[in-house]
Chains A and B, each alone.
Chain A
Amino acid sequence: MTLLSTRGLSKSFGGLHAVTNVDFDLPKGEIRALIGPNGAGKTTLVGMICGRIAPTSGTVSFDGVDITALPAHKRIMLGMAYTFQITSVFPRLPVAENVALAARRRLHGQEVDAAVSEALDRVGLTEAPDEEAGNLSYGHQRLLEIAMGLAQRPRLLILDEPTQGLSEGEIDGFKALIRDLAGETTILLIEHNMKVVMETADRVTVLNFGEVLAEGTPQEIHENDAVQAAYLGTG
């Protein structure tokens, strides 16, 4: 069953073609990595999927329904969650409140507290729930972003470079978390760290200059010459 698909999805900023004519299908339950060189259009593509960015042309369907015209908050309510590449938490609010805001969209009262501690637990941020989020280290703010995504219990979790700025140990924790989530939810993971991609993804889509260059299992992508030339050679 396909959870998400795009057809002919394009975006240009002025004269710049950031994303061109992307047909993309993501089956339910899969962990899909989206990779590509800097500026390939990954953030723009998922921005159009979750409604942050209006496409120039093309369509997006979620669970068989065309959602191209839906505003972002309604797509989120359908079961999408997006964690930002550039950390976007509420710096002056407590850590727990950051996660509670995510959980309260679907839960009430006591259930919220339970969901908050569960999400913080899963990413390993249990020390200081009352600390202001802005006082956390950069890596911990990245983990907080992920916890906010988890607290939404999404059907599709879109993670935009979640491991950027994490320590080796935290990256190991992240890989374990993704494996843990497999089966629970569908994941679209933008990732530069090839080790993480190789170890977590079921399949990989490669984006280059806004177009889909290749798609396949991590092994196939690893052995693909065109991908090597465009991307892996540098990374």
Chain B
Amino acid sequence: MSETQRILILHGGLLVLLFVLQFVLPAYHHGNLARIMVLATYAVGYNILFGYTGLLSLGHALFFAAGMYGMGLTIQHAGFTPAPALLVGLVAGALVSGALALLALRTAGVAFMIVTLMFAQAGYLTILYFGEYTRGDEGFVIQQAQRVLWGIDLSDPTNRYFAAWGLFGICLLISLWLVRAPFGRTLVAIRENEERVRMLGYDTFAHKLTAMVISGTIAAAAGAFYGLLFGYAGASFASVQYSIFPLLWVLLGGAGTVLGPFVGTLFMFYLIDLSSGITTAYMLIAGVVLVALTLFAPQGLTGELRRRVWRWLP
């Protein structure tokens, strides 16, 4: 079996499994998994910039929120239907990430982290400032009637699950294709040794800019779908916390692996879910497990799997 076949079977297999699970899972986990797939999409986007290009952003909540509000505000105030509203969300994400990239990519390392953090914070404050439209922290509900896409009611759990699955599947395959294509390989090389890539004749700035726009647009797609599928948009999704989450998920699952974002999001979600069922000090349990993981699996779960067993994992 060739490497490509193995890769297709593994990643395709996960998507098939997720599709089939829809018919067997009890309602509670069914709902969870829909949410996890949308959040994992967010992490997939984050991973392209952090895991593959080596740029640690602390401002991705800005892109997630750009998608969510681009979609939500046009539905709420302009009477858009979901399809064009989603498109507005995507375009907003692409524009915001492109603009931030032009500014932030003039810096590197810690300065890049700080610049992205500051701009994301500015975005959060902007949402609060325009509370008249955004309803600030309290947020606004997107009514069931506003969530019908091409005749499909997205508030229905089954439809919601399929929409989340479709979004995740498309973004996972985009990411898989990207990192195996010459462009993605150049990103990895930039992560490893940017000066050398430049001296091989590549415009590294343009590559990083493109990576950031792709990453930001996928994050925005996740934000837009999250708002639409769960019927709510609020400023907390633009807060620092939502910039830290994808970083954690990707680190746990394995930065620079295609499956890592999903594995990490799933793991973290159920870690908090299960430990909060046992004790109110659930953050403590979660914290201990996280510390143990960083000690014993510093490359994340999928990263360790690649190091120890499947060297061919993309």
Contact = CB atoms under 8 A, between A and B. Distances in A.
B312 to A, nearest CB: 11
Main secondary structure of the interface of B (DSSP, over half): helix
A76 B195 CA distance: 13
B309 to A, nearest CB: 17
Given A101-B185, A101-B186, A104-B182, A72 B192 contact: no
B132 interface: no
Contacts of A152: 200-201
Interface string B182-220: 100110110011011111111110000000000000000
A88 B196 CA distance: 7
Interface residues of B, number: 17
Given A90-B189, A90-B192, A101 B199 contact: no
B189 A73 contact: no
A50 B198 CA distance: 11
A211 B13 CA distance: 65
A101 B198 contact: no
A179 interface: no
Contacts, number: 53
A168 B192 CA distance: 31
A89 to B, nearest CB: 7
Chain A contact-residue range equals 20 to 34
Interface stretch (A30-38, A91-99, A218-226): A91-99
B196 A97 contact: no
A40 B247 CA distance: 47
B200 A76 contact: yes
A174 interface: no
B220 to A, nearest CB: 29
A84 interface: yes
Given A93-B188, A93-B192, A104-B182, A50 B199 contact: yes
A17 B89 CA distance: 54
A63 B204 CA distance: 25
B201 A77 contact: yes
B39 to A, nearest CB: 29
A57 B249 CA distance: 50
A148 B192 contact: no
A82 interface: yes
Contacts of B189: 90, 93, 101
A72 B196 contact: no
A105 B188 contact: no
Nearest to B188: A93
A190 interface: no
B196 A52 contact: no
Contact of B204 (A73, A77, A89, A101): A73
B200 A101 contact: yes
B191 to A, nearest CB: 9
Contacts of A100: 185
Contact of A88 (B186, B188, B195, B204): B195
A47 to B, nearest CB: 10
Q: Chain A CB within 10 Å — which of B185, B196, B201, B203 has the most?
A: B201
Interface string A111-129: 0000000000000000000
Given A101-B185, A101-B186, A104-B182, A92 B202 contact: no
A102 interface: yes
Interface in A34-88: 50, 52, 71-73, 76-77, 82, 84, 88
3 closest pairs, A vs B, by CB? A76-B201, A105-B201, A90-B192
16 contacts: A50-B199, A52-B199, A72-B199, A73-B198, A76-B200, A77-B201, A84-B199, A88-B193, A89-B193, A90-B189, A91-B192, A93-B188, A97-B185, A101-B197, A101-B200, A152-B201
Interface of B: 182, 185-186, 188-189, 192-193, 195-204
